[in-house]
Amino acid sequence: MTEDASAWTLYWSNNTPQSCIAAQRESDAEEINAIWRSFVAGLKNDAKILDLATGNGAVPSAMLRDRQSYSITGVDRADIAPLKYLDDPGHLRQVEFVGGIDVGKLPMPDQSYDALSSQFGIEYGDLAAIALEISRVLKPGGHCQFLMHHRDSAIVSPNALLIEELEHCLQDGGLIETLLNFLKGTCSSSDLDQKGQQYLETEGRKTRQISGQLFEGIGITLKAADNNMEDASRIAGNMITRLKAEHARLVQMENASLNDEEIQQFKRQLANRGMAISEPRPMTIGTGDEKALIGWLLAGSKP
């Protein structure tokens, strides 16, 4: 498995239904789910659907809310297992999930699906190759809809500061390295305390999401070190793995996001493969002061 896929494998193993929601309100997920419920409402009852880069099956879950007769397969490059990792998989028990699949090299036969979907997923891959696969596996008369990362969305824009915060945590000679040196016995607890204070006093954003959990993890590690240094090293190693994976995931998301020119290019790539594609439109959720741009919505069909 590639390093890129490993970061998402770890992410999906944490009982995470959705990959990206702008404000983390329950209503946000409901508004996004409505997009998919509307999409499948126009399909035949026994439609065969392929959800690309499915993660923990947020899209299939929404699709099956009103009607459970669809035949849905969800594929992802990560090692996904929604039925194992979600507390309540619900209707996802009837979905076939397949991990380790490159969406640009689908193992599915030609013209085998009535509909294709993806939510914050296909843009992480080679879109030229993915456009070819979309047109290949979709049946004539079939439909597709994709919700993709927008460069200026409320999902992607905050990541730059989070990435900077993570890089501060993980930098050479920083707090994490000092913790490891303490566990190896090459520095003292006072050295670790001093480095922690320096970290807190350094200018830059510090969030509960990153720095708060970092210090909480260090506290757990030090408590474990009082009894068993091997356990403490294991706890620290797991924490570092998760910090690095989160950094990789956010960098991937930032790199995958599309500006206006890039989404238009993907539309042309699909059109060049014989697809009839509507004009991409910015997708927003919420109202008033809470209105937020979350991505590009792109839909079409295969004549």
pLDDT tens digits, one per residue of 203-238: 888 999 899 999 999 999 999 999 999 999 999 999
Residue 67: what pLDDT?
A: 95
| pLDDT of 54 above 70 | yes
Q: Which CATH class is domain 3-155+257-301?
A: alpha beta
Which residues sit opposite 121 in a β-bridge? none
Q: How far apart are CA 20 and CA 285, in angstroms?
A: 13
Whether the CB-CB separation of 4 and 252 falls below 8 Å is answered with: yes
How would residue 19 be classed by pLDDT, with cut points 50, 70 and 90? low
Least confident of 11-15, 156-160, 195-199, 270-274: 11-15
The H or E element containing residue 167 is helix 159-170
Strands 276-277 and 138-148, sheet pairing:
unpaired
The larger pLDDT score, comparing residue 7 to residue 72, is at 72
Name which of 22, 5, 57 is nearest 249 in CA terms: 5
| pLDDT of 53 above 90 | yes
Residue 15: what pLDDT?
A: 79
Whether the CB-CB separation of 18 and 96 falls below 8 Å is answered with: no
Residue 205: what pLDDT?
A: 85
Whether the CB-CB separation of 123 and 265 falls below 8 Å is answered with: no
Average pLDDT, the chain: 93
How would residue 25 be classed by pLDDT, with cut points 50, 70 and 90? low
Q: How far apart are CA 261 and CA 125, in angstroms?
A: 17
How would residue 28 be classed by pLDDT, with cut points 50, 70 and 90? confident
DSSP 176-231: HHHHHHHHHTSS-HHHHHHHHHHHHHSSS---IIIIIHHHHHHHHHHHHHTT-HHH
Residue 16: what pLDDT?
A: 77
User: Crossing angle of helices 175-184/189-201, nearest 10°?
Assistant: 170
DSSP-based three-state secondary structure for 301: strand
Summarize pLDDT for 31-50 with one digit per residue, the tens. Answer: 999 999 999 999 999 999 99
Task: Provide mean pLDDT across the span 175-194.
Answer: 95
Query: What is the percentage of the chain residues whose pLDDT exceeds 90?
Result: 87
| pTM for the full predicted model | 0.92
Strands 281-285 and 113-119, sheet pairing:
unpaired
Residue 18: what pLDDT?
A: 62
Least confident of 2-11, 105-114, 254-263: 2-11
| CA trace torsion 62, 266, 149, 143 (10° rounding) | -10
Instruction: Enumerate the CATH 3.40.50.150 domain ranges in the chain, comma separated.
Output: 3-155+257-301
Strands 113-119 and 48-52, sheet pairing:
parallel
